[in-house]
Amino acid sequence: MNTDPIADLLTRIRNASQANHGSCAIPYSKIKENILKILQDKKFIAKYEVVEEKFPELFVTLEEDRDITLKRVSKPGQRIYVKRDDLKPLRSGLGLRIISTSKGVMTTDEAKKQNLGGEILCEIY
């Protein structure tokens, strides 16, 4: 049993990237799929697909020659929430934060446009 599935997702991607693997497999959950959709839209990963077998998995294909830094911010022991006024750019706009809002998982830019705050899940740069 894993107590922090989002940290597990980020660690598996980070480890595969540092070991120069082209892909990795991750146990399925909806929030992980939403995070991977954002990473694919922002070109941090090449693609992902849901593989339906006995237990569903997410199969992630990484971008070649791309070093990404994935950092978990809000943890199960210490949740980090931000108001809509406190959403600031990360690394002068070169990175992004993924937050969980009442309207779903999105980047801080999208949340700012919709005047939403929420829990900061992770930072990617």
Question: What are 23's strand-pairing partners?
Answer: 61
Token pair 């931000």 in the structure block, residue: 82
Query: Cα-Cα-Cα-Cα dihedral of 94, 119, 18, 92, to 10°?
Result: 10
Q: Indicate the number of domains in the chain.
A: 2
Same domain, 53 and 76: no
Last residue of a domain, one of 43, 62, 81: 62
What is the band of 94 on the pLDDT scale with cuts at 50, 70, 90? Answer: confident
Token pair 């989002």 in the structure block, residue: 6
Quote the domain boundaries for residue 81: 70-124
Same domain, 55 and 9: yes
pTM: 0.92
Query: Cα-Cα-Cα-Cα dihedral of 56, 2, 34, 49, to 10°?
Result: -30
Same domain, 74 and 97: yes
Same domain, 55 and 84: no
In the chain, % of residues over pLDDT 70: 99
- Return the CATH number at 81: 3.30.1490.10
